Structure 1
Amino acid sequence: MADLRSIDPPFVAPGPCGVAIRTSLGRLTSEDDKVLRLVGAHLGSLASKDLGRRCADGLEHSTDTWAQRKRALTQESSSRWAGSITKASHDQWALARRAQLAHIHGLEAGIRTIAHRLSLPVGQKGTKRAPGGYRSAQERFAKTRRLHVLQDRLTTERADREAGRVRVTRGGRRLLNTRHNLVKAQLTAEQWRRRWEAERWFLAAEGESGKRFGNETIRVTPDGEVSIKLPAPLAYLANSNHGRYVLASRVVFRHRGDEWADRVGANRAVAYRIHHDVPRGRWYVTASWTTPPALTVPLAQARTGGLIGVDTNTDHLAAWRLDEHGNPVGRPRCFFYDLSGSANHRDAQVRHALTRLLHWAARRNLSIAVEDLDFTAEKTREKHGRRKRFRKLISGMPVARLRARLVSMAAELGITVVAVDPAYTSRWGAEHWQKPLTSKTRKTTRHDSAAVAIGRRALGHRIRRRTAPPHDDQSDRRGHRTAQAGHGTRGREEPRPRIPGPRTGCMPPDAERTRATSASTTVRDAPDMQVWVQDSLLLTD
């Protein structure tokens, strides 16, 4: 058996560190709509200019350059608007840097894969750990050209990173490229222009603790009144004191409204963002704030009474309850979801499946065990080549969204989430648990057995089941071989070392033979019969 990679121990996933809630701004007047558009467009142009200056500074950014940018923005807006704009520019630049580094790592992985496959003869088969050579000389030639393209891209990206250059598109590069495919997107030029302008507006303000209702720029009172501090060039539009504009709409936060009201009443910081949904023709306001990190329970406490192992798939969550000894209890459960359609539809499907899973866990008062999946390096076309269906399968799994949703929703219900290493869970689950758990009345799938494997790993038990021992007289009374290793045993998930020698272990594997092997005493090629000849006696001194 080939050497297995080291398996990381399970851990309790930390809870969320922030909250964001959203509601619509209904019953806006035409004047309200006009003011929001003017303020958003004006601040959006300032945000675009400031982001350009921040990208131009690159690695030379300092406190002095930040102060200069903020002073220039204050003259055209206000000090608080300038602070929100500069902070957004810093966050966008940092995000672009992280994306740039991830792109470099992806290029390096693709180059390594192509170089390895080019070093092998055409048609050579690969192994489970490494791909083989290309199928044809034509494909090999095409990949040779692609190797040079990737190397050129990598050289450019590395030079940009060393110089601190990033490329950012306010409004989104995807929406920008949609301008060249309006027919496919089923949009007109005017519709696209309205979406593009709305995405580039800026109506976001950071909260301030100690200030009235937690925010001086965009203020929302406990009774739902929304007011905005107008920038200096638009102060003539104010309909209230101190250059503020009060919207006619009153907002109500249905989700976590009590928690939001407590923060606003105590003048604690709350950040707000107002944005326009062009397809729906609605305005929305999003309130967000940070929360102290939730105290995670010890792993031993999370294992008390067993837990629920969950296997993530492209269209459902396979779950099975396990007791504290790692034995499956009851029947497996499946929570289906449909990932076709719009992003909002997919997100709703994931939330609905997780809600049913969490309610089941809450009724049983059990923790949930999931795999710590990350398919960032698994989606490259160079690794899987022509396996487009497999690449699409991996890309379609909502790993990041499901993990974030699960942790945040579980924290609200007080359910502990245990993350485990995903190595070999599906393979070992199908090999050791699918057949034993299948009966005439229950058909166990590969995903159900993977859920059992995930749960056992979270509980600290071995996934693989050892073979049944032989009879007592044949095993030389060596003991039962199905005994499991302890929780703290190192290398308990790794294969047992193969030691040459007799199976009973009664003779050392490297011991020399103490009995001489005699020559064959059978006379072969005899016509009618075999004649046995006795060997001559050994002469000794």
Structure 2
Amino acid sequence: MGELRSVAASFVASGPSGVAVRTRLKHLASDDEKVLRVVGAHLGSLASKDLKARCRDGLAHSGDTWAVRKRELTPFSSSRWAGSITKASHDQWALARRCQLAHIQNLEAGIRTLTHRLSLPIGQKGTRQAPGGYRSRREWHAKARRLRVLEDRLAAVRADREAGVVHVVRGGKRLARARHHLEAAQLTESGWRRRWEAERWFCQADGEPGKRYGNETIRVSPDGEASIKLSAPLTHLANAPHGRYVLACRVTFAHRGAEWADRVAANRAIAYRIHYDMGRDRWYVTASWQLPPTPTLPIEAALAHGVIGVDMNADHLAAWRLDIHGNPTGAPHRFVYALSGTAQHRDAQVRHALTRLLHWARACGVKAIAVEDLDFGAETTREKHGRKRFRQLISGMPTGKLRARLASMADATGIAVIAVDPAYTSRWGAQHWQKPLTPTTRTTTRHEAAAVAIGRRAQGHPIRRRTAPPPQHRSDAVGHRTAQARRDVPGREGTRPRIPGPRTRSVPPGRGANAGNQNAQHRPGRSAELGFWQQDSLPLSL
């Protein structure tokens, strides 16, 4: 059996660094839609050219080249529009570099697994720590060919990274590939063209502190009036002074509307993005701003009222409340979500499940929620998990989205999120807690037992419910039998009090006055932790 890896310490997750709220632009006039399409198409063409120039610069990019690109765009737009476009291009290039590094790490993990399995004899069984050999000679040959393919891909990606080359598609690679498979995508050529053009539009502007309403380019007043500063070639479309176009609709933010209004009234920076949803045939505006960093709550203060351990799964959240001593109290809760359908539907399902979890935490008076610090970035390769359904199960678990959503929503409710090391929580939870927590009326699942293990690890308690019995005899020669008592409990290391009982051969142990307490014995269906532990004395005649 391999050695167990060390378990990292738990920590309180930091809160969100920014806020983004979205609302629909209702009751737009036909002229408004025409202007938005023209502005988006014009700025989108400039953004495509600038992104191409940024990718061409590669690693040779500097502040001077950034300034040159901005000066080239200014005559065709404005100084502020040019700044937004160049910043978006720089962010897109940086994102592509991070994705490139993740792709390299994924390829390296697959190559390591293939190399290990190909070096083993055919048919050799694997272990929990490492996979075994391939099942047949045919599979071995196919994996040997795949190893060469992955090595070639890795060499090409490494060469691109060293040269600073990234591959970015404005509008999305998936939509670009759908052009060659219109029937499978259920699109017509004209419908695909309209969606492709809409995805490549650009209409977003960064906020500026101290400016009127926090943004000079896309401005929304406290009463909801929205206006856009038109580019130089489009000033003839203006319907307001200073080359601005005022939309006929009124903008209202239902979520965080009071916070948004306070920032607008104080002229604090707010970034806006106007985009078009082709599927719904609707226009939306998104407002975003940064939040000042808040001091992280000490983990001891967060755990002062207990904790709720949460086990994340592909279709539900299993949660159990623990008191300050690490004991599960009450009944477990399950918050189900269905990750099917559109992206909006999946996101709504996740938000609804987290909302119910937070409402339950507030009703219990708990100030902390413990979750696993999961990261499946390098665990979804075909070589590590050969079964396709299992790979799809892992890939479908929205660990990143759940963590981000939970941290943001919990910060607004004053509940701390504690991230714990996920090592062995499911295995040890099922081993030590599933059977003791299973009553006669229902069955405790493996996920609910894992939630208890996660909560105990966040509190600093060992996951094990009991230590091993003493090996020599039935007294406390090797220490106290329970791992539940804290170190500061009086008498934790002391011997148990003497219990009078029979001491002759005529009355063997277990037949005295204390034999009626069945909970004191290790018998099926009885828990030794329910009552005070009692023990019969040994007869002196033995």
TM range (shorter): 0.7 to 0.9
Measure how far apart 1:298 and its partner are.
0.4
The corresponding residue for 2:58 is 58
Measure how far apart 1:442 and its partner are.
3.2
The corresponding residue for 1:183 is 183
Normalised by the size of structure 1, how large is the TM-score?
Answer: 0.88
Residue identity matched to 2:374: L
Q: How does 1:502-517 map to 2 (within 5 A)?
A: none
Q: Provide the rounded CA distance (Å) in 2 between the counterparts of 1:323 and 1:424.
A: 22
* Contact kept? 1:118, 1:140, Cα under 8 Å: yes
* Contact kept? 2:230, 2:244, Cα under 8 Å: yes
Secondary structure of residue in 2 paired with 1:209:
coil
The corresponding residue for 1:286 is 286
Measure how far apart 1:180 and its partner are.
1.7
The corresponding residue for 1:7 is 7
1:459-484 Cα offsets, whole Å, 9 max, x none, are: 10000233463599544733323235
Q: How does 1:186-265 map to 2 (within 5 A)?
A: 186-265=186-265
Q: Provide the rounded CA distance (Å) in 1 between the counterparts of 2:175 and 2:397.
A: 23
Q: How does 1:446-465 map to 2 (within 5 A)?
A: 446-465=446-465
Measure how far apart 1:254 and its partner are.
0.7
The corresponding residue for 1:370 is 371
Secondary structure of residue in 1 paired with 2:268:
coil
Alpha-carbon spacing, 1:81–1:124, altered in 2? closer, same or farther (3 Å):
same
Secondary structure of residue in 1 paired with 2:90:
helix
Matched, 1:409 2:409: yes
* Contact kept? 1:272, 1:285, Cα under 8 Å: yes
Report the RMSD for the aligned CA atoms in angstroms. Answer: 1.5
Q: Provide the rounded CA distance (Å) in 2 between the counterparts of 1:324 and 1:172.
A: 49
User: How many residue pairs are counted as aligned between the two chains?
Assistant: 487
* Contact kept? 1:462, 1:485, Cα under 8 Å: no
* Contact kept? 2:467, 2:483, Cα under 8 Å: no
The corresponding residue for 1:149 is 149
The corresponding residue for 1:338 is 338
Alpha-carbon spacing, 1:306–1:472, altered in 2? closer, same or farther (3 Å):
farther
Identity of aligned residues (%): 72
1:260-310 Cα offsets, whole Å, 9 max, x none, are: 011011111000000001111111000000001222210001111211101
Residue identity matched to 1:376: G
The corresponding residue for 1:527 is none
Alpha-carbon spacing, 1:486–1:116, altered in 2? closer, same or farther (3 Å):
farther
Q: Provide the rounded CA distance (Å) in 2 between the counterparts of 1:412 and 1:363.
A: 16
The corresponding residue for 2:74 is 74
* Contact kept? 1:28, 1:249, Cα under 8 Å: yes
Measure how far apart 1:443 and its partner are.
1.6
Q: Provide the rounded CA distance (Å) in 2 between the counterparts of 1:293 and 1:471.
A: 53
Q: Provide the rounded CA distance (Å) in 2 between the counterparts of 1:88 and 1:70.
A: 12
Matched, 1:98 2:127: no
The corresponding residue for 2:433 is 433
Measure how far apart 1:486 and its partner are.
6.7
Matched, 1:384 2:385: yes
Q: Provide the rounded CA distance (Å) in 2 between the counterparts of 1:64 and 1:471.
A: 74
The corresponding residue for 1:500 is none
Q: Provide the rounded CA distance (Å) in 2 between the counterparts of 1:121 and 1:151.
A: 22
Matched, 1:23 2:45: no
Normalised by the size of structure 2, how large is the TM-score?
Answer: 0.88
Residue identity matched to 1:140: W
Secondary structure of residue in 1 paired with 2:152:
helix
1:427-484 Cα offsets, whole Å, 9 max, x none, are: 0000000011112123211111000000000010000233463599544733323235
* Contact kept? 1:469, 1:480, Cα under 8 Å: no
Q: Provide the rounded CA distance (Å) in 1 between the counterparts of 2:158 and 2:485.
A: 48
Matched, 1:445 2:449: no
1:220-265 Cα offsets, whole Å, 9 max, x none, are: 1001111111111111111111111111111111111111011011
28-37 vs 477-486, which deviates more?
A: 477-486
The corresponding residue for 1:123 is 123
The corresponding residue for 1:320 is 320
Secondary structure of residue in 1 paired with 2:331:
strand
The corresponding residue for 2:159 is 159
Alpha-carbon spacing, 1:485–1:476, altered in 2? closer, same or farther (3 Å):
closer
Q: Provide the rounded CA distance (Å) in 1 between the counterparts of 2:317 and 2:2.
A: 31
Alpha-carbon spacing, 1:331–1:244, altered in 2? closer, same or farther (3 Å):
same
Q: Provide the rounded CA distance (Å) in 2 between the counterparts of 1:148 and 1:232.
A: 54
Secondary structure of residue in 2 paired with 1:110:
helix
Q: Provide the rounded CA distance (Å) in 2 between the counterparts of 1:228 and 1:487.
A: 65
Q: Provide the rounded CA distance (Å) in 1 between the counterparts of 2:473 and 2:61.
A: 78
1:498-517 Cα offsets, whole Å, 9 max, x none, are: xxxxxxxxxxxxxxxxxxxx
1:82-120 Cα offsets, whole Å, 9 max, x none, are: 000000000000000000011011111111111111111
Measure how far apart 1:340 and its partner are.
1.4
* Contact kept? 2:25, 2:249, Cα under 8 Å: yes
Secondary structure of residue in 2 paired with 1:382:
coil
1:289-336 Cα offsets, whole Å, 9 max, x none, are: 000122221000111121110111111111101011111101111111
Measure how far apart 1:341 and its partner are.
1.1
Measure how far apart 1:424 and its partner are.
0.2
The corresponding residue for 1:508 is none
Q: Provide the rounded CA distance (Å) in 1 between the counterparts of 2:107 and 2:468.
A: 48
Alpha-carbon spacing, 1:237–1:300, altered in 2? closer, same or farther (3 Å):
same
Measure how far apart 1:153 and its partner are.
0.8
The corresponding residue for 1:505 is none
